[in-house]
Amino acid sequence: MIPHFTLYSRSYCHLCQDMLDALNALRTPELPFTVDVIDVDADPALVARFDELVPVLFADLAQPELCHYFLDEARVRAVLAG
């Protein structure tokens, strides 16, 4: 099964774009993954939950976040390693 990430983000947020770019830089043919980027401003419930915390990255929405503001490469690599 290919790992999947969810990134809660904002369209005008440079930290959000930086995290997405850093995450995508980890993708290789040997370590594939998918990522959904969710705009928190499209849903009032997401704004209430995340607001100024974005960007926030999850590997499993039932588990705590992997990181926010900046990519935690070690945690992401641990998910990718299985």
Residue 49 domain boundaries: 4-81
74, amino acid identity? A
Tokens of 21: 């770019």
55, amino acid identity? P
In angstroms, the CA 35 to CA 75 distance is: 15
The CATH number that applies at residue 54 is 3.40.30.10
Q: What is the pTM of this model?
A: 0.94
Q: Based on the structure, what is the number of domains in the chain?
A: 1
pLDDT on residue 19: 98
Q: What is the pLDDT of residues 11-62, one digit of tens each?
A: 999 999 999 999 999 999 998 999 999 999 999 999 999 999 999 999 998 8
